[in-house]
Amino acid sequence: MYKYDDFDHAIVNARVDEFRDQVARRVAGELSEDAFKPLRLMNGLYLQLHAYMLRVAIPYGTLSADQLRMLAHIARSYDKNYAHFTTRQNIQYNWIKLAEAPDLLADLARVEMQAIQTSGNCIRNITTDQFAGATAEEVADPRPYAELLRQYSTFHPEFSFLPRKFKIALTAAPHDRAAIKLHDIGLELYKNATGDIGWRVFVGGGMGRTPIIGKVLREFLPQAYFLGYIEAIMRVYNRYGRRDNIYKARIKILVHELGLEEFHRQVDAEWADIQKTFAEPPAVELERISAFFVNPTFETIATPVAIYDDARKTNPAFDHWVERNVCAHKQQGYSIVTISLKAVGEIPGDASADQMDTIAALADQYSFSDVRVTHEQNLVLPHVRQIDLFALWEKLKDIGLASDNVGLASDIIACPGMDYCSLANARSIPIAQDIAKRLAPIERSTGELKIKISGCINACGHHHAGHIGILGVDKKGEENYQLSLGGSAAEDTTLSTILGPGFDADGVVNAVEKIVACFNTIKRDNERFLDTYRRVGTAPFKEAVYG
Amino acid sequence: MTKPEPLPRILNANDLATGDVVYWSGSKWTRHIAEAEMIADNDAADALGKTEMAARRVVDVYPFEVNFENGVPVPARYRERVRSLGPSVRLDLGKQAGE
């Protein structure tokens, strides 16, 4: 993975020193809260329902074992022994003290981590496929480009005060695990008919109060023009994005209001102008960055691996876990392992300091010290020898992280909701816990089902993209939940459709159970929930829920 | 139809240094909602909030409605109840756990 150079270290350490000074001046009364708030937010420090919350960036969801150990240390030393992995591949701490935040950031900097641009109207953490560099599906590893974008966007003076926050996601595989069409810019690296590799550029996607699927702005962008073209998009948005209305400030609204054709024309004009002066990074720079993402030294392993196959045949629980949590690796004899942070009844995305330490040790032992964070709030060990899978599974069981539910009903995305978030109108986590408990007994026979829950219209829980989406709202001071069906964040991206009137907390859990029961009676063979929904529409589910 | 009587309100904020939720007791900020004093004068409460923020003791001061049960204020809205207790999904954390 990428290693900071002297310049990276210098700017991050300088930022820590600067924030330490800002905190001291705030406490001493030299800075008002109005002056200080944007400064703390630029360093990822929010004020939430119970305390300060720090959001730490995990660039493109890639962590080393040492970094994960540091995150565990921070949970122990500055928080309450746990943290929360988010839908943007970041991590959040919920109980931070202002005076301790600079020391915390200094600790993070020691392992080349920071909280810069995890808030504010700037280019946020770049996200990508959690299987990058491990899956055979991809045409190239997208992370060098993500790192290039990270460096380009960090402290970019022109893009530090955009009309609104800006999210970019990349993938290099046809199976989209990064929800690229639901980002301000989505980038898909692919090989065209003539064998050249380049980017399909999507623009104007997003969730929130106005969900829109990103549109193709450029069908094929040669890699050589990667940054210049993104700069052209950013400039058009920065110049014409609405600053008069926060609800209309995202690029998706600009694209919608201008129309794709006119937006495209403006970007092309800007791009033509940029090319007179903009210097793409020299090839040697991308090569320098790419060198940090070369394959680890894989062993040559003959397959099939008898011990692994035998363990699957003789241990059904292990076999179930492999079936759900283990994916094909590009290297023969290796697998990609998803560690579910969704044990039934537990809080989606939360991990204790002890669990983080153990996963770091397992990454050292089994996965070249490499850990990934998924936008579905799970962790990944990307390079595990098949011969080691059984031992790994047993060790995960010891720390309560061997749930065999990836992609099933209890693998629920849930935002922190009103248990932590000051913006939320309703709780998300207890709804997720209750649904998981209710559906766990039938989830294997139900098959793939993605349930996503947000505690407010901002949609951090991606409810618009849920096969079953749940949105918590405030109805005359009471929590109320709207159900919607048919969303997807994958390559077949769709937005979910509201089913009907909302429910209270118990009611929505009952309604979800009825929807799943209905699905199980009408599905054909091994049809996924989403495919059944697309075949039959809302009618049978409405009937099941509302009678 | 008669308009319902407005509910009594109390003042809360976050402690500047710790971020902890605190309530105005009439003479100082307290971590315990049971010690909170009802707002008698809205203008005075606004002024108090501004003074206390300027004094760098607290941030984000705002009033909210409560019902008094056995003399103890209980937030009318669930959001403020969660804030006064701690996460409903982690009963081992926050004021509900005696922290």
pLDDT one-digit tens code per residue, A137-146: 999 999 999 9
d(CA A93, CA A531): 38
pLDDT at A278 over 90: no
The type of residue at A321 is W
ipTM confidence score: 0.95
d(CA B69, CA A106): 47
* Cβ-contact A26, A45 below 8 angstroms: no
Beta-strand pair B21-24/B9-15: antiparallel
Least CB-CB distance to B19: which of A52, A418, A427? A52
Angle at A381 between CA A138 and CA A101, to 5 degrees: 110
Least confident of A84-93, A163-172, A276-285: A276-285
pLDDT of residue A95: 98
- Output the six-digit token pair for A237: 């948005």
Residues of chain B contacting A477 with CB distance shorter than 8 Å: 76-78
Mean pLDDT, to the nearest integer, of A89-97?
A: 97
Positive or negative, the CA dihedral A347, A353, A355, A361 is positive
Mean pLDDT, to the nearest integer, of A328-356?
A: 98
Cβ-defined contact of B60 to A96 (cutoff 8 Å): no
Q: Is the peptide bond before A304 cis (omega within 30 degrees of 0)?
A: yes
Least CB-CB distance to A98: which of B16, B21, B88? B16
Identify the three-state secondary structure at position A304.
coil
What is the tally of helices (H) and strands (E) in chain A?
18, 20
pLDDT one-digit tens code per residue, A183-222: 999 999 999 999 999 999 999 999 999 999 999 999 999 9
Cβ-defined contact of A477 to B76 (cutoff 8 Å): yes
pLDDT of residue B56: 85
d(CA A201, CA A223): 11
Residue B16 contacts A where some CB pair is shorter than 8 Å: yes
Count CA within 13 A, CB hemisphere, residue A314. Answer: 7
Mean predicted lDDT score pLDDT of chain A:
97
pLDDT one-digit tens code per residue, A19-51: 999 999 999 989 999 999 999 999 999 999 999
Residues of chain A contacting B7 with CB distance shorter than 8 Å: none
d(CA A36, CA A142): 36
Minimal CA separation from A69 to chain B, in Å? 23
> What string of DSSP letters covers A250-270?
SHHHHHHHH-HHHHHHHHHHH
pLDDT one-digit tens code per residue, A47-65: 999 999 999 999 999 999 9
Residue B86 contacts A where some CB pair is shorter than 8 Å: yes
For chain A, give every domain's residue range: 6-110, 134-291, 306-398, 413-546
The type of residue at A398 is D
Identify the three-state secondary structure at position A96.
strand
Mean predicted lDDT score pLDDT of chain B:
93
Least CB-CB distance to A429: which of B21, B77, B89? B89
Identify the three-state secondary structure at position A156.
coil
- Under the banding of pLDDT at 50, 70 and 90, the label for residue A279 is confident
> What string of DSSP letters covers A489-538?
-STT-B--EE-SS-B-HHHHHHHHHHHHHHHHHH--TT--HHHHHHHH-S
pLDDT one-digit tens code per residue, A384-417: 999 999 999 999 999 999 999 999 999 999 999 9
Mean pLDDT, to the nearest integer, of B52-61?
A: 91
pLDDT of residue B1: 64
pLDDT at A462 over 80: yes
Residues of chain A contacting B21 with CB distance shorter than 8 Å: 49-51
pLDDT at A510 over 70: yes
The yes or no reply on domain A306-398 and CATH 3.40.50.1820 is no
- Nearest partner of A308 among A362, A384, A243, judged by Cα: A384
d(CA A109, CA A528): 44
Mean pLDDT, to the nearest integer, of A508-521?
A: 98
Query: What is the side-by-side strand order in the sheet with B29-30?
Result: B29-30, B21-24, B9-15, B58-69, B72-75
pLDDT of residue B27: 94
Q: Looking at the domain that runs over A6-110, which CATH code has it been given?
A: 3.90.480.20
Residue A461 contacts B where some CB pair is shorter than 8 Å: no
Query: What is the side-by-side strand order in the sheet with A82-85?
Result: A45-47, A52-56, A91-96, A82-85, A350-352
Surface of A (395-434) touching B: CB under 8 A: 418-420, 424-425, 427, 429-430, 433
d(CA A247, CA A375): 24
Nearest CA in chain A to B99: A80
pLDDT at B6 over 90: no
Query: What is the side-by-side strand order in the sheet with A62-64?
Result: A62-64, A370-373, A379-385, A334-339, A326-328
Mean pLDDT, to the nearest integer, of A223-243?
A: 96
Task: Work out the number of other CB atoms within 10 angstroms of the CB of residue A120.
Answer: 19
- Nearest partner of A98 among A48, A55, A52, judged by Cα: A52
Among B53, B79, B80, B92, which would you mutate to test the A interface (most chain A Cβ atoms within 10 Å of its Cβ)? Answer: B79
Least CB-CB distance to A33: which of B20, B53, B90? B53
pLDDT at B2 over 90: no
pLDDT of residue B11: 96
- Nearest partner of A468 among A481, A482, A487, A454, judged by Cα: A487
The type of residue at A295 is N
Which residues touch A183 (CB under 8 Å, ≥6 apart)? A127, A167, A168, A169, A202, A205, A206, A214
pLDDT at B42 over 70: yes
d(CA A128, CA A426): 29
Which residues touch A60 (CB under 8 Å, ≥6 apart)? A89, A125, A126, A127, A128, A132, A142, A143, A146, A147, A150, A170
Q: Which CATH class is domain A134-291?
A: alpha beta
Q: Looking at domain A413-546, what is its CATH homologous superfamily?
A: Sulfite Reductase Hemoprotein, domain 1 (3.30.413.10)
d(CA A519, CA A362): 38
Residue A505 contacts B where some CB pair is shorter than 8 Å: no
A413-546 shares the fold of A306-398: no
Residue A456 contacts B where some CB pair is shorter than 8 Å: no
pLDDT of residue B55: 87
> What string of DSSP letters covers B14-83?
EETTT--EEEE-SSSEES-GGG----S-HHHHHHHHHHHHHTTSEEEEEEEEEEEETTEEEESSHHHHHH
> What string of DSSP letters covers A1-36?
-----HHHHHHHHHHHHHHHHHHHHHHTTSS-HHHH
How far CA B56 is from CA of A403, B18, B26, B63, in Å, comes to 47, 12, 18, 18
pLDDT of residue A513: 98
Beta-strand pair A185-191/A168-171: parallel
Beta-strand pair A379-385/A413-414: unpaired
Which residues touch A378 (CB under 8 Å, ≥6 apart)? A85, A338, A339, A340, A341, A342, A406, A411
* Cβ-contact A367, A381 below 8 angstroms: yes
